[in-house]
Structure 1
Amino acid sequence: MKKIAIVTATRAEYGILKPLICRLEQEKEFEVQLYVTGTHLSKRYGNTKQEIEADGIRIYKEIPILEEGNMPYAISATMANALRRFAKAFMEDLPDLLVVLGDRTEILGICCAAMNENIPIAHLHGGELTEGAVDDCVRHAITKMSYLHFPAAEVYRKRIIQMGEDPKRVINAGALGVENILHVPLYDRRTVEKELGIAKDQAYVIVTFHPVTLERQQAGEQTRELLAAIEEESQYHYLITKPNADAGAGEINRMLEIFAKEHKHVQITASLGMLRYLSAVRYSAFVLGNSSSGIIEAPALGVPTVNIGNRQMGRLMADTIINCGNEKDEIVQAMKKAAATEHKKSALYGDGHTSEIITETIKKLFSEEKIDLKKHFYTI
């Protein structure tokens, strides 16, 4: 039996990974080891470990790594904790494969620990660009550490090959977030209103605004401009989810909490969970902010997105995404355009069979191929 380690450090990451975790657990030849870490174990970020437990998914180990604060030193210390504590865990458990998603700094530390133990890494959502964030460097670094790659679109598959990875191990699997949308029964409108405390038939907007890590000195000013736009467009109810634990997030959270207390049409939450979040997006007027969910999940639901600033610059984007700058007037104009945009579903990120493609590829890897971590650089 092969031991498949999967790591989740944030609420959004777990929501995306859930269909893959469930499918891998159904395979008799695999023992799934789910490592829960990062903000999942923090009360300040909603103690979202409880969402995993509520889903009935077995947690293999809880590994606390999070340092207090969101300044660069705290981010670096969290990465160091991840490297040290996962090195110990991997030394004791020695999984046959580590599955990771994306581009977070703590995941980079965890991958370093796996690399030093010669544990092959399967990386999801590689090859993407987010030119306004340090995530770009992290994502590409993880790509070069990884043995198996599951990008979410063909353009990303080609980019990974351009980085020297063997095409045989780069599989366009689509996005797990799209699979959730197509296969998970979502709440109806009335249930969403009841669950989230939104008045019947009230037009509402889902907001997620993360710090732009390569512009972190501007986090406060950028948030002020966003909140000024929300104040002007007061015909909507706004449901704001708190940002990730990135540099600058603390300042944004403080501003959001003060603003929500002063404005009755605004509410703020640490986490909605995957089912409530996607259900809420489904019936929203549009999505507002700079989260990847506005680029991948919202278009798959047919919901327009106002994408603010540079954080997602470089990603493949559907026609329903309206890009704008960080100034209030630009945001307001983009919101008006989004409100008038037709709700039209996009299939840019796959057809909803991602977990099946990944599972079958991993099964084939162990049954047909001898893993050789001495990778050759593939020259185009």
Structure 2
Amino acid sequence: MRRIAFFTSTRAEYGLLRPLMAEVAARPNLALQVIASGTHLSEAHGATWREIVADGFPIAARVEMAIASDDSEGVALSAAQVLSGVASALARLRPDVLVLLGDRYELLAAAQAAVLARVPIAHIHGGEATEGAIDESIRHAVTKLSHWHFAAAEPYAERIRQMGEAQDRVWNVGAPAMDNIAALDPVPKDDLERFLGLTLRAPAFLVTYHPVTLEEDGGLAAMQALLAALDTGAGSVVITGANADPGANAIRASLQAFADERPDRVVLVESLGARRYLSLMRHVDAVVGNSSSGLLEAPAVGVPTVDIGPRQQGRLRAPSVLHCGESAAEIRQALDTALSAGHRAIAARRESPYGRPGAARRIVDQLSTVNLAARAKPFVDRRCAADA
């Protein structure tokens, strides 16, 4: 039996990995191993390990990671914890493959542990570009440490090949998020409102704002401009918690204060869970902030996106995604456009550059058959026009 391990450290990444875990668990020739770390194990971030267990996936290993300190030194020390913890988990679990998704800093530590343990890595969502975050460098580093690559779109697959990866190790499978949307059993609006403790009134916005790790203030000024743009006294605002990147504590405190001062129309929820999050998208007028979910899930659900600042700059965008600068005036203008009848009609077409449902099956089909003995990776030199 082939043992497939998954490393997961955030609610967002787990939501994308969930259909793959279910696909692995359903196949008798495969054994699922879940390594949980990061904010999953933090009560302050919603203790989302409970969601993993509730979904029927036993946690094979827990890797503690200190996330209280969000300065550069604290983040580096947290990554060191992950390296040590994942090394111990791999030695005990002895997986045949480690699956990693995305570009968070703890992912690079997990990848390093796997390389040193001679456990081959399958990487999902490589080849993408996010010019405003350190994730950009981490993503490409993980690509070079990985043996197999599952890209969400053909331009991303081509970029992976451009980095010297062999053609037969790279697949364009689409985004696993499309599987979640296709399989969604939506939570009724009344149940969502009871969970939130808030009646959704138009215009309703679903807001997620993460630190911008290449900006000097971590994106704090831009986040305050966003709150100023939202402070109209009308409609409802549901804010989800920021991830555990450098600068997160200041952003989280400002978001909480904004919600506490406006309890009749604003609520901050650390984690909605994947099902509630996608269900809530169906009942808001726009997804707002700088999360990748505004580019991946929102267009496929049919809701407009206002993407703020440089954090997602470089990613493929559907026509329903509006990009704007970081001033309150620019954000207000983008919100007005998102709420217009013309742009709502564009969003209703549900156009997405990230493929069709079935990514989980396509990925697991490959993981079931790849040659595990082929550990040596050739670097494929590609002839450039300048060399001609």
Q: TM-score range by the shorter chain?
A: over 0.9
What secondary structure does 2:272 align onto? coil
The residue aligned with 2:63 is: 63
Gaps of 5+ in 1: none
Count of residue pairs brought into register by the alignment: 376
> Given that residues 96 and 372 in structure 2 are in contact (C-alpha distance below 8 angstroms), is that contact kept between their aligned partners in structure 1?
no
1:378–1:230 Cα change, 3 Å: same
1:186-335 superposed matches below 5 A: 186-199=186-199, 202-232=202-232, 234-264=233-263, 265-335=265-335
State the match for 2:377 in structure 1. Answer: 375
| In 2: Cα distance, 1:254 partner to 1:66 partner | 19
Query: Structure 1 residues 100 and 320 mapped into 2: Cα distance closer, same or farther (>3 Å)?
Result: same
8 Å contact kept, 2:39–2:45 = yes
- Shift of the alpha carbon at 1:236? 1.8
Q: Distance in 2 between matches of 1:57 and 1:90?
A: 18
- Alpha-carbon spacing, 1:215–1:339, altered in 2? closer, same or farther (3 Å): same
The residue number in structure 1 matching 2:135 is 135
1:121 maps to what in 2? 121
CA contact (8 A) 1:216 1:248 kept: no
Q: Percent identity?
A: 41
Aligned counterpart, 2:38: 38
User: Hey, what's the Cα distance between the residues in 1 that align with 2:41 and 2:192?
Assistant: 27
Contact 1:190 1:200 in 2 (8 A): no
Cα distance between partner residues in 1 of 2:66 and 2:249: 14
Give, in whole Å, the separation in 1 of the partners of 2:200 and 2:249: 33
d(CA) in 2 for partners of 1:185 and 1:351? 18
- Aligned with 1:347 (options 343, 352, 371): 352
Which stretch shows the higher mean deviation, 56-65 or 12-21?
A: 56-65
Q: 2:385 aligns to what?
A: none
Distance 2:126 2:282 in 1: 26
Looking at structure 1, the residues matched to 273 and 218 of structure 2 have their Cα atoms a distance apart, in angstroms, of: 29
CA separation in 1, counterparts of 2:306 and 2:51? 28
Work out the CA distance in 2 between the residues paired with 1:188 and 1:60: 33
Match of 2:172, SS state, is coil
Which secondary structure does the structure 2 equivalent of 1:171 belong to?
strand
SS of the equivalent of 1:284 reads: coil
Q: What is the one-letter code of the residue matched to 2:356?
A: D
Partner Cα distance (1:195, 1:89) in 2:
36
Q: TM-score, length-normalised on structure 2?
A: 0.94
Is the deviation greater in 207-216 or in 87-96? 87-96
TM-score, with length taken from structure 1: 0.96
Q: Which residue type is aligned with residue 278 of structure 1?
A: L
C-alpha distance after superposition, 1:325-353 (max 9, x if no partner): 11000000000000112232023111110
For residue 93 of structure 1, report the CA deviation from its aligned partner: 2.3
Q: CA separation in 2, counterparts of 1:297 and 1:216? A: 29
1:168 Cα deviation after fit: 0.8
Q: Is the CA contact (8 Å cut-off) linking 1:16 and 1:180 kept in structure 2?
A: yes
Whether the aligned pair in 2 keeps the contact of 1:39 and 1:66 (CA below 8 Å) is no
Question: How far apart in 1 are the matches of 2:192 and 2:372?
Answer: 49
Aligned mates of 1:68, 1:218 — CA distance in 2 = 16
- Pair 123,370 (structure 1): closer, same or farther in 2 beyond 3 Å: closer
The match for 1:90 is 90
Gaps of 5+ in 2: 383-388
Contact 2:200/2:235 (8 A) holds in 1: no
